[in-house]
Amino acid sequence: MATRSLVTRRLMPFMDWAGELRSSAVLRADAAGGITNAVIALPQVVAYALIAGLPPAFGLYTAIVAAVVAALFGSSRHLVTGPAAPMSIMVAAVMSGIVAQNAPGYAAAVVALTAMVGVLQLALGLARFGALIAFISHAVVVGFTAGAAAYIAVTQMDALLGLDLGSAGSIPATVIALARALPRAQPDSMIIGGATLLVTAAVRRLRPRWPALLLGLAAGTLVQWLPLAGMDTVPTVGAMPSGLPSPALPALGVERVRQLAPGAMALALIGLIEAVSIATAIGTRSGQRIDGNREFIGQGLANLVGSFFSCYPASGSFTRSAANFDAGARTPFSGLVTAACLAAVLVLVPGITAYVPMAAVAAMVLTVAWGLVEWGQIRHILRTSRDDAAVLVITLLLTILLGFVTAVFAGILASIVLYLRRTARPALVPVAPREDRAGRDLRNVRRNALTECPQLKILRVDGSLFFATSGHLHETLRAFSRTREQRHVLLVGSAVNLIDVSGAEVLAAESAALARAGGGLYLCSLKGPARDFLERGGYDRRMGGGRLFHNPREAIAYIVLERLDHEACHACPYFVFRECAAAKEKGTPAA
């Protein structure tokens, strides 16, 4: 019975929370969150669909179908899945080299792309690759999002200025086209866009809990009705088709799959990164632990099922997810409420967008773009980590110059390369006892201005000793074997999680080199698995035997009293260790 219950919950994860809907308090909270989200989503999803080069109805289709499926099969209680800015931008970028936005087959190609994204995400989830998302640097997401915001801003300027530039392609090409067309800018479109921006900014500042985007869009629409010359010629979004989409198979073919495969992979990864990152961030606030594999499956099913209902690739929306949590929603049922509200708009008032000017939508999208840039995160990364800063800058610049697919893969590759470089060069930090501490408290020599023993070098190894680090370890230890005095080296391995054959061979070889120079290599504080590996492989014997110690106290006592040159100790002016007095006494010349 227990096994059947477990299988049922895996196949129908919504059973985890469905029982909570018996509570009227939960229903009220979810209804409040769902309605709030519908108000926020209506202008957003229309704008995002236009960014993707699709009619506004596709944004609503995606916000309805993807939200329902992800709510039923995902793991997060507050994540809202649907149209998202990064995915919308990447759709336009991926399709730009395949099908023109104004071509008859553009929408069908995007729907096919959605199906491919869904299959890839579902496969990753079923293969339990959810944990791998942690290996993708946060700097890649921040850099990509900033580049995406720049792309949004540039591509919306023509609608804001009342220009028709067509599809200029890359950001640099679009900027050049805008500069050439600037003298033809239309004042009426600029007035509408300016009013939208002004009202949106004012509402966000003065009444943060009000739907700023919706009110700004309404203000821009009302300005169009002012009795000013030219206002009646400003382009509008146009009416949406009435009713919900009929199910249809995505138009997939061998050639289309070949063309869309690289972009589909990039979209699948970005969509999963966005969704899991948002779910985790909100889960931290709500106290919920996110199941990465289940979230992968939920996102994959949302896109796969959505491709049968004219949806384009969806992911998590931070704005709508945060609003869902802040509005008090308790279960994913709030996503179903949002979908029901948006479906009612399509069925009852599909013509509402016929009165919305494109300039107002462009201004709304610019506001969204500004909010996408994580200025605080950018400053923090640039200030604290050179490697992460390099990844961020690479991703940002490549997003602007070469496009999104190239930027995402290059950013991920850069993060992996820099990570491997860091792990291949573990810090070997010189440490020594603190004179003001009674215990064997070893601290960084340089940071604390500590005195070192002239004969014994103590190094704290901050990393594992495996094949990638063997070269760095060899070079560092060989440098000590060539010195005249510090020929004894003690490695403090409390941070060593792994030693493989390559690392152990280097330890044995360098121990022999130090022994030939009259010194020795010693290790202490190794974790159990690392110590067992050295003993099982006979490396402790190859190092001379008796070179592995449980803690620095044992190691230092043995080395100072048994291995150092006591005549040199007698002449040494320093008292680095507690054993120094005894070592000096041993080195006292005979009377």
The string of pLDDT tens digits covering residues 27-68 is 988 888 788 778 778 777 887 898 888 988 899 999 999 999
pLDDT of residue 245: 84
Residue type, 71: A
Residue 1 resides in a domain: no
Is 413 found in the same domain as 467? Answer: no
Question: With 60 as the cut, is the pLDDT of residue 523 above it?
Answer: yes
Per DSSP, the three-state class of 488 is strand
Q: Tokens for 238?
A: 């146009």
pLDDT of residue 501: 93
What is the structure's pLDDT at 65?
A: 96
Number of domains in the chain: 2
Report pLDDT for 81.
94
pLDDT score of 403: 67
pLDDT the model gives residue 468: 82
User: Do 81 and 41 share a domain, yes or no?
Assistant: yes
Rounded to an integer, the average pLDDT of 262-286 is 81
Give the rounded percent of residues in the chain with a pLDDT score beyond 90. Answer: 27
- C-beta separation of 404 from 89 below 8 A: yes
Tokens of 455: 């004969």
Distance CA 280, CA 284 (A): 6
Return the structure tokens found at 497.
């999680």
Residues 159 and 227 in one domain: yes
User: What is the DSSP-derived secondary structure letter of residue 100?
Assistant: -
Q: Is residue 591 part of a domain?
A: no
pLDDT value at residue 340: 93
Q: Which helix (DSSP H) or strand (DSSP E) does residue 316 occupy?
A: strand 315-316
H helix or E strand, kind and range, residue 492: strand 488-492
Q: What does the pLDDT look like over 72-113, one tens digit per residue?
A: 999 899 899 999 877 888 898 888 878 888 788 899 999 999
Number of helices (H) and strands (E), helices first, in the chain?
26, 8
CA-based end-to-end distance of the chain? 88
CB-CB neighbours of 35 under 10 Å: 16
User: Is the Cα dihedral 481, 487, 488, 492 positive or negative?
Assistant: negative
> Based on the domain organization, do 398 and 434 belong to the same domain?
no
Q: Which two tokens stand for residue 346?
A: 């399509």
* Angle of helix 386-401 versus helix 404-424 axis, rounded to 10: 160
Report the chain's C-alpha Rg in angstroms.
32
Same-domain pairing of 292 and 326: yes
Indicate if 320 and 459 belong to the same structural domain: no
Please enumerate in sequence order all residues whose Cβ is within 8 A of that of 535, keeping only pairs 6 or more positions apart, or say none.
Answer: 548
Strands (E), 77-234: 81-82
The answer to whether 64 and 343 are in contact (CB under 8 A) is yes
Helices (H), 440-538: 445-448, 470-481, 501-516, 528-536
Residue 3 falls inside a structural domain:
no
Q: Residues 412, 504: one domain?
A: no
**Predicted local distance difference test score (pLDDT) of residue 10:** 65
Strongest mean pLDDT among 58-62, 223-227, 575-579: 58-62
Instruction: Say what the pLDDT of residue 312 is.
Output: 96
User: What distance in Å separates the CA atoms of residue 456 and residue 8, rounded to the nearest whole number?
Assistant: 64
Angle between helices 254-286 and 318-326 in degrees, nearest 10? 30
506/522 same-domain check: yes
How far is the C-alpha of 526 from the C-alpha of 176, rounded, in Å? Answer: 61
Which region among 13-27, 130-144, 191-205, 326-340 has the lowest average model confidence (pLDDT)? 130-144
Residue 60 and residue 46 in contact, taking contact as beta carbons nearer than 8 Å: yes
Domain boundary among 378, 395, 418: 418
- Whether residue 287 lies inside any domain: the answer is yes
Domain-ending residue, one of 418, 442, 470:
418
Average pLDDT over residues 240-248: 83
pLDDT confidence of residue 500:
92
Give the three-state DSSP class for 227. Answer: coil
Same domain, 482 and 546: yes
Flag whether pLDDT at 1 surpasses 50: no
Local structure of 249: helix, strand or coil: coil
Question: How far is the C-alpha of 334 from the C-alpha of 328, rounded, in Å?
Answer: 10
In this prediction, residue 21 carries a pLDDT of: 87
Q: Is 490 helix (H, G, I), strand (E, B) or coil?
A: strand
Cα 281 to Cα 284: distance, rounded to the nearest angstrom: 5
* Residue 521 and residue 469 share a domain: yes
What are the residues facing 236 on neighbouring strands? 357
Q: Are 559 and 488 in contact (CB under 8 A)?
A: yes
Give the residue among 340, 350, 354 at the shortest CA–CA distance from 243. Answer: 350
> Of 13-17, 336-340, 351-355, 453-457, where does mean pLDDT reach its minimum?
351-355
What CATH number is attached to the domain comprising 460?
3.30.750.24
In a domain, 155, yes or no: yes
Per the domain annotation, does 22 fall within a domain? no
Domain boundary, last residue among 388, 418, 448: 418
Rounded average pLDDT over 507-516: 89
Q: Which residues constitute the domain of residue 171?
A: 28-418
Average confidence score pLDDT of the chain: 84
| DSSP 8-state code for residue 545 | S
| CB-CB contact of 333 with 89 (8 Å) | no
- Distance between CA atoms of residues 359 and 198, nearest Å: 13
Please tell me the least confidently modeled range out of 118-127, 205-214, 260-269, 480-489: 480-489
Instruction: For residues 440 and 411, state if they share a domain.
Output: no
Tokens of 247: 């199910």
Residues 236-256 have a mean pLDDT of 83
How distant, in Å, are the alpha carbons of 159, 190, 340, 470 from that of 216?
A: 16, 14, 24, 61
pLDDT at 5 over 80: no
Number of neighbouring beta carbons within 10 Å of residue 2:
6
Q: Identify which of 251, 267, 560 has the alpha carbon closest to the alpha carbon of residue 409.
A: 267
Which residue from 443, 388, 382 is spatially nearest to 411, judged by alpha carbons? 388
Is the pLDDT at 164 greater than 80? The verdict is no
pLDDT at 591 over 60: no
Considering only CA atoms, which of 135, 146, 190, 205 is closest in space to residue 171? 146
User: Is residue 517 in a domain?
Assistant: yes
Residue 235 near residue 346 (C-beta atoms within 8 A): no
122 domain-assigned: yes
Residue 56 has a pLDDT of: 86
pLDDT band at 135 (very low <50, low <70, confident <90, very high): low
Q: Do 304 and 160 fall within a single domain?
A: yes
Residue whose C-alpha is closest to residue 171's, from 359, 413, 407: 407
Mean pLDDT, range 499-521, rounded to an integer: 90
pLDDT-derived band at 230 (thresholds 50, 70, 90) equals: low
Q: 258 exposed, middle or buried (CB, 10 Å; 0-12, 13-18, 19+)?
A: exposed
Higher-confidence position of 320 and 120: 120
- What is d(CA 104, CA 143) in angstroms, rounded to the nearest whole number? 34
Dump pLDDT digits (tens) for 428-464. Answer: 889 998 765 545 678 898 888 888 999 999 999 988 8
Calculate the alpha carbon distances from 139 to 142, 214, 314, 385 in Å: 5, 31, 22, 10
pLDDT score, position 564: 92
Contact 129, 385 (CB under 8 A): no
How many CA atoms are closer than 13 Å to the CA of 291, on its beta-carbon side? 13
pLDDT of residue 321 exceeding 90: no
Residue 163 has pLDDT above 60, yes or no: yes
Give all strands (DSSP E) within 330-464, no chain letters: 427-433, 442-444, 456-462
